[in-house]
Chain A
Amino acid sequence: MLRGLSLDSLMPYFGVVLLIIGGSFFFPQVLSADYLTQQLQIAAFLGFLATGATVVILLGHIDLSVPWILTGAAILSTALVGTGNPFLSAIAVPAALVFGALIGIVNGIGVAILRIPSMVWTLAVNSMLLGLAVLNTGGFNPKGEASALMKTMASGDILGLPVSFLIWIALCIVLAWFLTRTPFGRYLRSIGFNEKATFLSGVSTPSVVFAAFAIAGMCSALGGVMLAGYANQAYQSMGDPFLLPTIAAVVIGGTSILGGRGGLFGTIGGALFITLLTSILSVMQIEDAWRNIIFGTIILVMLLFQTLRKGDTA
């Protein structure tokens, strides 16, 4: 766990504090409890995706199928609830999670067995899912609604803290335990460092890859279920705007895109930072163009800070 607390992973938390202080000069309401808890709630949506992405990135791979796993899970769960059948409504969330895990395994097959670079294979899986969704819904917004459970997961609160945030943190704690305390976690990182050496040490590397992608798929699916609960519907390409912020959240949190190095603690900070940055930029009513420029610049500056601090050894 200590390894997770490197300076890199603390960076986004400093960023969050700076953003809150800076934002409060322009808008005092940034400091209100209402605003901050709302940010925690929204950060959780990005957070689920980033948590799953962290697992895959630690492995040294990348999952570009996040957007349509998310959308597919949202469509599936709302459609099941929309049937009105109590049994089907009850299994909406588990079904979405199984869907995410299955797609994750499809990703794993391409990456581990066919040895296709994850970047293109998950991209292809993404476009197949898109095709399935279009075929299934006829290109219109899918019918259906969110169940009470999904709404509570997305918008409820316990003792003033959003349920979505609590679930996210609980998930992170469980996963962090898996990543640091079990053989699976160690294999995951060692594959990220050197897959060949890990294989030669007798580890069944494909099964680790399968598990990692399945976890990531379930996280994306959970994000989709939450978003569907939040919006009370699923809609086409609801996941597309999340892909790049997800990757950005993971790297800002100090996880190396090359794999092996990093952890979930930083990712939590990264997701909080990006959500807050997006929110403050939109509260300030900055036009879209400048929002893009500022967003890109800040991410670049944070990354430069990470690498240049290390001097020539990086």
Chain B
Amino acid sequence: MLDYLKSNRREMIAALVLIVLLAVYLGTHPRGASTYVMTIWANQCLILGLAACAQFFAVVVRGIDLSVGAVMALSNCVASYLLDGSAFGIAIGMVAVVVVGALCGLINGLVVVYGRIQPIVATLATASIFVGIALLLRPTPGGAVNYDLADAMTLDVLGIPTAMVIAGVAVIGFWLPFRRTGLGLGLYALGSSEQAAFQSGINTKFIRLAAFTLAGLFGGLAGLFYSFVTTTGDAGIAASFTLNSIAAVVLGGVLLRGGVGSLIGALAGAFILKTIAALMFFSGIPSLAQPLFEGLILAAAIAIGGADVLRARNKLEAFS
């Protein structure tokens, strides 16, 4: 048990911070800890949470995905066309939205792997293209999403917010089994040391392609869930989600130099970030000072995350 805690130190710290923050939030919320309050909170958290998952897959292979927000915007706009009408049509539509996201990710992967362009620049360029396509689809925000479906996805199941159920499924149903597969281990191998991974016979090109495709897929899921929450398509949502997803994974203990962290951490980081923002709202801090406090807390959280440097035994160890 102790070993387990030690090896998952980063996730544990993130989870602990999240629990404390959530307790403070529910404690200070004027309406207290009701299902209603929890659902609103969980919905906001899960949108960024899925975006952070997308970012995680790019970061864990020592990349970065600056197109997360753009993929969300594009899939959101696609969703605003497809998620209305017959039940069968909607079901196909949901799959199509996620496939669009995965395709965007695949394009990123191809450019990175075969074009040999650094991920940060490659996704910067593709992000512009994705946003362009999203704008073609929805020059102004609009469209509709089936209300029954949107309600089903954003309210609660037996008092538990659906968003929390989705997060649970993503972790227990997808991540925990996935991490034990060859692909899951390959992600970490590639992120830790590309050369060592290559020399152990891992198909590094395939792993990297898969990582970016998964990033796109989760970006698509984030866009899909965003559509359920807002029930419209909006091409202008890209910028804030991209940068916040990076902050979220770092808060969740995922190292930008690759190979360290987990999907659970990414989710926790996103939930922390959103809970801080929600806390601000009810904190009684003057509204004009709130952005500053948000920034200060973000900086402090990141700086504490960087406190690993204090554990370095000598100056040289700090460079890595």
B99 at the interface (CB under 8 A from A): no
Q: A120-B250, A128-B296 are in contact. Are A293 and B319 (CB under 8 A)?
A: no
- Complex interface: chain A residues within 8 A of B296 (CB): 128, 131
Interfacial chain B residues near A115, Cβ < 8 Å: 306, 308-309, 318
Candidate in A116, A134, A200 with the most chain B CB atoms within 10 angstroms: A116
Contact B319 A117 (CB under 8 A): no
* Chain A min CB distance to B22 (Å): 22
Q: A200 vs B319: C-alpha distance in the bound complex, in angstroms?
A: 11
A/B interface sample: 5 pairs, CB < 8 A: A110-B299, A196-B316, A199-B315, A299-B125, A307-B116
> Given A130-B295, A300-B111, are A120 and B246 also a contact pair (CB < 8 Å)?
yes
Q: What is the CB-to-nearest-CB distance from A137 to chain B, in angstroms, rounded to a whole number?
A: 9
B117 at the interface (CB under 8 A from A): yes
Residue from A119, A138, A287, A307 in contact with B64 in the complex, judged by beta carbons closer than 8 Å: A119
Choice from B121, B129, B131, B306 contacting A257 with Cβ under 8 Å: B121
Distance in angstroms between the alpha carbons of A110 and B243 in the assembled complex: 18
CA distance A64 to B298 in the complex (A): 15
A304 to B316, Cβ gap below 8 A? no
Interfacial chain B residues near A257, Cβ < 8 Å: 118, 120-121
List, in ascending order, chain A residues with CB within 8 A of B64's CB.
119
A229 vs B250: C-alpha distance when bound (angstroms) = 38
Q: Is the CB of A114 within 8 A of B303?
A: yes
Task: Report A-chain residues with C-beta under 8 Å of the C-beta of B111.
Answer: 300, 304
- CB within 8 Å for A199 and B316 given contacts A134-B292, A303-B117: yes
How many angstroms from the CA of A117 to the CA of B294 in the assembled complex? 19
| Complex A-B, nearest 10 residue pairs according to Cβ-Cβ distance, in ascending order | A131-B292, A292-B132, A296-B128, A293-B132, A289-B135, A128-B295, A296-B129, A127-B295, A131-B291, A124-B299
New A-B contacts (13) at CB < 8 Å, excluding given A114-B306, A117-B256: A121-B302, A124-B295, A127-B299, A128-B296, A135-B289, A257-B121, A289-B132, A292-B128, A292-B129, A293-B129, A299-B125, A300-B115, A307-B117
The contact string, 1 if C-beta is below 8 Å from chain B, for chain A 171-196, is 00000000000000000000000011
Contact partner of A199 (CB less than 8 A), chosen from B139, B303, B319, is: B319
Closest to B251 in A: A120
A237: shortest Cβ distance to chain B, in Å?
A: 10
- Name the residue of chain B whose CB is nearest to the CB of A132: B292
Is the CB of B82 closer than 8 A to any CB of chain A?
Answer: no
Indicate if the CB atoms of B299 and A138 lie closer than 8 Å: no
Q: Once the chains bind, are A200 and B316 in contact (CB under 8 Å)?
A: yes
Tell me whether B1 is interfacial, beta carbon within 8 Å.
Answer: no
B interface: dominant SS: helix
Residue contact A303 to B125, C-beta cutoff 8 Å: yes
Chain A positions 292-314 with a Cβ under 8 Å from a chain B Cβ: 292-297, 299-300, 303-304, 307-308, 314
Alpha-carbon distance A139/B131, docked complex (angstroms): 28
Residue of A119, A199, A240, A247 ringed by the most chain B CB atoms within 10 A: A119
Q: Please give the distance in Å from A192's CB to the nearest CB on chain B.
A: 13
B246 near A138 with CB under 8 A, answer no
Closest Cβ–Cβ distance, residue B296 to chain A (whole Å): 6
A255-283 near B? 1/0 per residue, CB < 8 Å: 01110000000000000000000000000
Among B282-320, those with CB < 8 Å from A are 288-296, 298-299, 302-303, 305-309, 315-316, 318-320
Task: State the CA gap A123–B303 with chains docked (Å).
Answer: 12
CA distance A287 to B307 in the complex (A): 47
Decide: B125 and A248 in contact? CB cutoff 8 A: yes
Complex Cα–Cα for A124 and B304 (A): 13
Chain A stretch 110-161: residues in CB contact (< 8 A) with chain B: 110, 114-117, 119-121, 123-125, 127-132, 134-135, 138-139
Query: Given A128-B296, A307-B117, A247–B302 Cβ distance below 8 Å?
Result: no
> Closest CB-CB distance, B279 to chain A, in whole Å?
15
Q: Would you call A290 an interface residue if the criterion is a C-beta within 8 Å of the partner chain's C-beta atoms?
A: yes
If A127-B294, A293-B132, A295-B128 touch, whether A110 touches B122 (CB-CB below 8 Å) is no
Contacts of B294 in A (CB 8 A): 127, 131
